[in-house]
Amino acid sequence: MAAAPSVRRRRLGAELRRLRARRDLTADHVAALLDWSPSKISRVETARIGISVSDVRLLLDLYEVAGQHKSELLALADAATRRGWWARYAKDLIFAEFAAYVALEDEADSAANHVTYNIPGLLQIEEYAYHIIEGGRSAFQGISAAQADRLVEVRMRRQQILYREHPLDFSSVLDESVLMRSIGNRGTMRRQLTKLIELAEMPNIELRIHPLKAAHVPVFNESFTILNFLPAHDVNFPEVLFIDSVQSAEVLDTDITRHYRLAWESFKSSSLSPQKSRDRIAEAVKEL
């Protein structure tokens, strides 16, 4: 499976395309000047392939980019060549769409999440995650026990984005049924929900419970996450939608994302406040 293009690689490609257009050069013209194929220019600019730092330097010299902007783009090019931690799992464990999502999630500034069946993966404790993945293994017989263990490892590794120097701002709306759905045993659920209360106190995490009795809201049978990215190097990066359902998963950056954003805002507005949501989770812990 080909490596999923990172946000760095996509931003670099978009900026190189902008700089070429600013110089009023066609891809064919640039390819002729550098003795490259036109398809290489196209694939670099659309992030279908990576590009070496030395080749980026050639392009920047051709486009007459200098000073701080050149230094930033060379640094971006260097960062874009580095393989993400998920690459070693993408070869034989996680499917292409999810690998692409993890690559994007790792560089996102914020995430808006809605879940209908279980605690979001970024907030799961290890034993809860194991029961979720093991349940899927039992239902679909698609992975081995050893692969299930590695998938739990992937999930735990993803959570580091919540604790890094510039952490992901994570806002999640959880269907109230998630608190009632038994995953593992009562001890597992008690520890998971207690951890959820602790996480909700973190400044970069906002949790809201969507009551089962809430009215006049969209009905979704799938969980989804919308990733948002801050502008960098004069390049805006669009919101990205990840739809996760039992039968499929896909990453989208098309107009459909806007509709899911509106749905998420509707869910949020009809949910309990963060404080009342913590109180509801605490009630669920007592019930256990």
- Tell me how many degrees the CA angle 116-168-175 measures, rounded to the nearest 5: 15
Residue 247 has pLDDT above 70, yes or no: no
Find the helix or strand (DSSP H, E) in which 60 lies: helix 53-62
Query: Token digits for 235?
Result: 């390049």
Mean pLDDT over residues 88-99, rounded? Answer: 76
pLDDT at position 209: 97
Residue 54 has pLDDT above 90, yes or no: yes
Among 46-55, 60-69, 130-139, whose mean pLDDT is lowest? Answer: 130-139
pLDDT at position 143: 75
Residue 97 has pLDDT above 80, yes or no: no
Q: What are phi and psi of 175, to 5 degrees?
A: -60, 135
Strands (E), 4-44: none
pLDDT at position 253: 66
Mean pLDDT over residues 78-83, rounded? Answer: 84
- Domain residue ranges in the chain: 7-80, 87-287
pLDDT at position 148: 86
CA distance 223 to 113: 8
pLDDT, greater one: 140 or 37: 37
pLDDT, greater one: 216 or 37: 37
pLDDT at position 193: 98
Residue 137, amino acid: R
CA distance 282 to 278: 6
**Cα(first)–Cα(last) distance of the chain, in Å?**
44
What is the pairing mode between strands 110-115 and 223-228?
A: antiparallel
Give the pLDDT band of residue 89 (cuts 50, 70, 90).
Answer: confident
Residue 216 per-residue DSSP state: S
Residue 2 has pLDDT above 50, yes or no: no
pLDDT at position 130: 93
pLDDT in tens, 123-161: 999 999 999 988 776 655 567 888 888 999 999 999 999
CA-to-CA separations, 259 to 110, 247, 270, in angstroms, rounded: 18, 21, 17
Tokens 């806002």 sit at which residue?
A: 171
Helices 186-200, 274-287: axis angle to 10 degrees equals 160
CATH topology of domain 7-80: 434 Repressor (Amino-terminal Domain) (1.10.260)
CATH topology of domain 87-287: Endonuclease; Chain A (3.30.870)
pLDDT at position 94: 74
Which of 256, 7, 231, 261 is CA-nearest to residue 112? 261
pLDDT at position 246: 55
Residue 117 has pLDDT above 80, yes or no: yes
Among 103-107, 126-130, 164-168, whose mean pLDDT is lowest? Answer: 103-107
